[in-house]
Every structure is written in structure tokens, then in C-alpha cells.
Amino acid sequence: MKKKNKSFESILARAEKLFDRGNYLLAEKEFEKAGKIEKQNNITEKLKICKKETENLKVKDLIKRARKYTKKKQLRNALECFEEAYTISKEDSIYERIEALNRILSDSDIEKAAGNAEAAGQYAKAAELYEKAFAGSKQDAHLLKRALCLVKAERYEEAVSVFKDLNLFDSCSLYNYGFALARVGQYYKCLKVWDDIAEKDNDFLEQKELVSSILADDVFDRFNSTGDFASLYKEGKYLLDSTGRQDLAELVEYCKYDWIKKLWTDEQYETIWELVFDFPATVEPALIALYAKTCFKLAQKSKTYTQSHTHLSNLSMFWLTAVYNCELSGKFSSEAKERENIRQKLIQMAESLIKKEVDSEDEIARLALTYWNIDNKLIKYIHALAGDREDTAHLVCTPRFADLFGKSAQILRLIKENKTFFENTERYLMTGCYYSTAGQSMYHLEARQYEKAFNTLPEVIDGDEFATYGMLKVKFFYGLYCLESGERQLKRCFDTVSALFDISSDYEKKLIEKAFECYELDELNRYEEALNIIYTKRPSRGIKEALSLLMSKRAIARYNVRLINNKTLNIILQKALALNPKNEHARVSLYDTKVDCELIALEKALSKHKMNKACKIVVESKSEKVRSCFFEFMEDTVKALYEMDMENEKKIFFLQDTYKWCARVDNSHSILHDINGMLRFLE
């Protein structure tokens, strides 16, 4: 009995020890042994704990294994582990894992089944299965496969509806989408999709050509049956551009104008402008009106700065041409006076539109107004010249319009043939110039964009009198700009300017006036250089006088800052005076300079006691100042000598010498009387 008790206790003790160490598996076995020997409540409880802990450990182990299987993509093994763990623990989280794995395995199975169906040529079935796979996976790859299977199953409508929502990049998808579109009659869309395929496979290119031809047939059919001119234009234009099918050209143009009509009603002026921006070689009056009105509406409507101003600058070109157009203005009224009033009303409307923008201190609008003013003035001349003649009425247009539609040469011929119409040569040349190759440069010049004007001058003028006039004028004004700003382009600007002065002496006067107004040395330098350039080519009286004055002014300015000495100043002044003997500025300056020179020489001679030389200077000088200086010196000398502590004999000797020198200069000067008095006293 004693032995039995001892054995029970030792088993229980071992069980407790294992339990405390957390070794529940072995503890459970020991507790079971102990329980068989003697039943105790305590042992039963411990056994329960051991069993629970053992199960927990097993679940943990199973989850660990399941994760390892998942990582290795052995999803079925993972599922088994999770299922076993769930059987033990009944935990919700494990159940969710099992559900997710089942879904994946199911999708995988569906995908596999779909793949098998596709491989077996059962495309409709495969498409259905891919749809199911997508329902589970929500992956676009499944939808794409479905769409491809639908194409193969010839269920094109469905294929298109699936493809249209997908982002397609690869050639296979793009081709099949395009093919499905073609099979449902959407040829234009098909070609647009196929345009994204980079491959240039011959079969594919042939097929593309075939679809293009089918589309062309379709466009012709729809042209006769439907009124969707926007689509017909777009599709026809696409074919025209991509295949060069010229048989579509007229249809496309026709549809374009019908579409424009619709766009005008819808106030879609931007689109209209895009459609008509490709200017044709010849232009109908109705098209001129369309350009003008679209520009007007856009300038009026445009919200953005750039848009509005592009149309503002185009407005004068088209608007004035339109309102002066014989055919268009003929519709204003049958009465000439009323017609003119309506024209002026329309001109005023556009001008107000531009001026409104100028009021907001806008630089580009200001430029547009400058262009407007030029065009408005010129078109009046051309209208007066050609507007009433049937053969020339079509030439009434603005210079930029003429350039755009190749009318410039005809207008220039018209101007040349009617030279006497213009009030003077310059008006004649200026009008022609805007229509010549120098026209653009003239616009810049009028806008005071001198550099731009100079840089846009035509490279070849080839004896054209109008372009030559433009070149001369631009060079002259750019030259003036250089004179004021200090740019060193004077030779290039002024070497041809004499020809401009021959056309109008106003330019010469303008330059001379400006030359007379300058005082700063830098400015004087530049003006003298410019006038010298001009003088060599055109020694006119005005230029001569201006150059002479500028030479003397500049010489004085240089002398004042000690850049030249008296001698150089004297030489320059003499030259200036030689150029223009009436140059009072040079004359006075030269006189003053001469006196200064004589005074310096006199002082030098006196200081060295070279009395003969001093007397000679004074005798030769016409300056009272020099005389006074000499006699002031003599008076001081005489006074000092007389008061000096010296023997009278010596004083008499020196006074007699002084008397001689003074008498040589002026034998009636009062100093002689004073010296005589002193001599008498000393004697």
C-alpha cells in the first residue's frame, strides 16, 4: 500500500513539474496515469487545461504550415492546414482564410477551364468562363481575354462593348478591337484604333486599305442619306489625309461648309476658325465674309488673352477687306450712299471692338489698332482707285490679305498704272510699299518696333521702287532709333538715306531738327558720325549747316571735359566754319578760343620777359581783352618800378624801355603820359 501511494505521488509530482514548465503534452500523459490510480478533481481540471493548450499549439503549428504553403503557392495544402486548424479552434479568422483560399482556387479553376475551352476552340464557352473569372478577380486581364474570345466567337457587338472600356496597348488587342469595330460597321473607329498598331505586316496593311475603301463607300452612302456633316467631314478628311483619296476632296469640303453652318448657329466660332484657317489659293467673297465675321465673333467672345488678341490682329485684315468687297457690300443696300453708311457703321463696330481693348492698356491691342489704322487708310486708297471698276474691284483688300491670297503683284501693278492718282510721290510709294515685299517691315515700323522692322526687311529688293522706299524709310527710322539708343548700326542705316531725302525733304528736316536738339557728348558723337556719312553722299545745304553746327558743338563739349586742347579745338572750329561760314556758334567759339590762345601766349611771353614777342601778340590781336591784359601788366610793372628802391638812372632806363614797348602797341595810350610824368620827375 505504501509502495502504491509513493508511485502515485511521484507521477503526480512529475506531471505538475511538466505542467509548470509548459510541457502540456507530457504533463497530460502523466496526469492521465495519475488519474487512473486515483481520481481527483484537481487532476481532471489540469488535464482539461493540458488538452486545451495542446490543441492551441497544434493550431498554431497548422497555421504556420499553411502560411508556408501559401508562400510556395501550394494553395491546396495550405487550405488543408487551415481546415484542420479550424476543426480544432473554430476561429472566425481561420474561416475567413479558408473562404478566401476557396475563392482563389475556384477562380483559378475557372480560368483553367476557360483556357482549356479556348484551346479547344470553344470560344463562346471560354468567353463565359472569363466573365465568371472576372466577377471573382475584378482583373481587366480576364475582361480582355473575354473580349478576344468574343471576337473569335464572332460575337462582335459584345466584343466591342467589352473592348471600349479597356486600355489597350498591345497589337493583338488593338487589332481584334479594330476588327470587331469593322465587323459592326464602325470603320472609322476601326481605322483610328488600327493606327496605333506599330507593326507594318503586309496582310494587316492590305486589310487596313480594304477597311479604308469600305469607309469611303460608307461616307458616300451616308452623304446621300444622312445629315451628320460633322462626322462625314471628320471621316472624309481622315481618309483624304491618310490615303490621299482625291475623289473624297470635294465631298469633304462640301461637308465642311455644312458643318460650319451648324457650328455658326451653335456659336462654336473656335472650331470654325480651325476649319477655315487652312487658307485656300483663291477666295470667294462669301469666304472672306466668313473669315471676317468669325474673327469679329472670336475677338468679341474670346475669354483668354492670347486667343482674343490673335483674332484682334487678324480682324482688320479680313473685316476691312470684307466690308469693302464689291459683292458683299452690294448686299448692304442698292443705294450707294446708304451702302457707304452701312460700311462705315460696320467699320466703326470693329474699330470700337479694338479700341475697347486698347482702353484696358493692352500692348497687343494697341498693336492691333496700329495695324487697323494702316489697313483702314490703305484700303480707302485702293477702293477709291479700283472699287468702281469691274475688272479691278476684286483687288480691293488690305495688304496682309493680299499677301495671304497672292493678290499683291496685281495691286502693285494697279498702283503703278495710276501713279497720278496719288497726291504726291511719297503717298504713291508708301501705298505700294505696304503691298510690296517690305510690307511687313513697314507694319513693324508704324508700330515703332524699329529693330523688328529692320530685321524683317526683304533680303532682295531687285529694283522694286516700293520695296526700296520701304527699305529706305525703315533704315532711316531705325537709324534715328540707333542715334537715340546708342546702337552702333549708323553706317548701315544712313549710307542710303540720301535717296529718301530726294523723295521727301521732310526726313532731312526731321534729322536736322533732331541733330540741333542734342547736347550730350555721346549723342553729339553719334549725330556727327551720321551726318558725316550722309554728307559724303549728299552735301546739301541743310546737312552742311547741321554738320558744321554739330562739329562746333561737339568740339566745345569735348574741350570742356578736356578731351581736346585749345589748339585742336581751334582747328575743328575753323573746319566747322569753313563748312558753313554762317555758323555763328563756331565763329563766336573760334574768336573766344583765339583770344584765350593769345592770352596764354601773352602771359607766357611776359613771364619770360620776351617783350618784343608780347608786343607783337598784342599788336596782331584784335581782342580788347588781350590789349587790356598787356597794359594792366605794364601799369603794374611801371608802378612797381617807380616805387622800387633803385638808382634814378636805372629807373629812367627801364621806364624809357617800357615807354617804347607801350608806344609800339598804342602810341596814344594814357600809360605813355604817366611814364612821361615819371621820367620828368626823375630827370
- Contacting positions for another protein (CB under 8 A): 151-152, 171-172, 174-176, 179, 182-183, 197, 199, 201, 203-204, 207, 210-211, 213-214, 216-217, 220, 223, 247, 250-251, 253-254, 257-258, 260-261, 264, 284-287, 289-290, 293, 296, 300, 323, 328, 331-333, 338, 341-342, 345-346, 349, 352
In this complex, which beta carbon is closest to another protein, that of residue 171 or of residue 425?
171
Q: Is 266 helix (H, G, I), strand (E, B) or coil?
A: coil
Q: What residues have CB less than 8 Å from 655, skipping those under 6 apart?
A: 638, 641, 642, 675, 678, 679, 682
- As to burial, measured by CB atoms within 10 angstroms (0-12 exposed, 13-18 middle, 19+ buried), residue 399 is buried
Sign of the alpha-carbon dihedral angle for 441, 446, 452, 454: positive
Minimum distance, C-beta of residue 133 to another protein, in the bound complex (Å): 17
In this complex, which beta carbon is closest to another protein, that of residue 45 or of residue 209?
209
Minimum distance, C-beta of residue 301 to another protein, in the bound complex (Å): 10
Angle at 426 between CA 420 and CA 428, to 5 degrees: 40
Looking at residue 488, the DSSP 8-state letter turns out to be S
Task: Considering only CA atoms, give the Rg of the chain.
Answer: 54
Reference 192, options 164, 220, 217; nearest CA is 164
Minimum distance, C-beta of residue 226 to another protein, in the bound complex (Å): 14
In this complex, which beta carbon is closest to another protein, that of residue 348 or of residue 676?
348
Q: Are 466 and 409 in contact (CB under 8 A)?
A: no
Sign of the alpha-carbon dihedral angle for 12, 15, 17, 22: negative
Gap between the Cα atoms of 404 and 587, Å rounded: 59
In this complex, which beta carbon is closest to another protein, that of residue 154 or of residue 506?
154
In this complex, which beta carbon is closest to another protein, that of residue 214 or of residue 461?
214
In this complex, which beta carbon is closest to another protein, that of residue 242 or of residue 670?
242
Q: What is the dihedral of CA 70, 76, 79, 85, to 10 degrees?
A: -100
Minimum distance, C-beta of residue 253 to another protein, in the bound complex (Å): 7
Minimum distance, C-beta of residue 231 to another protein, in the bound complex (Å): 16
Minimum distance, C-beta of residue 338 to another protein, in the bound complex (Å): 7
Q: What is the dihedral of CA 447, 449, 453, 455, to 10 degrees?
A: -160
Q: What residues have CB less than 8 Å from 183, skipping those under 6 apart?
A: 154, 156
Gap between the Cα atoms of 98 and 598, Å rounded: 124
Minimum distance, C-beta of residue 448 to another protein, in the bound complex (Å): 29
In this complex, which beta carbon is closest to another protein, that of residue 261 or of residue 491?
261
Q: Are 212 and 239 in contact (CB under 8 A)?
A: yes
Gap between the Cα atoms of 556 and 569, Å rounded: 7
In this complex, which beta carbon is closest to another protein, that of residue 6 or of residue 331?
331
Minimum distance, C-beta of residue 203 to another protein, in the bound complex (Å): 5
In this complex, which beta carbon is closest to another protein, that of residue 100 or of residue 210?
210
Minimum distance, C-beta of residue 518 to another protein, in the bound complex (Å): 46
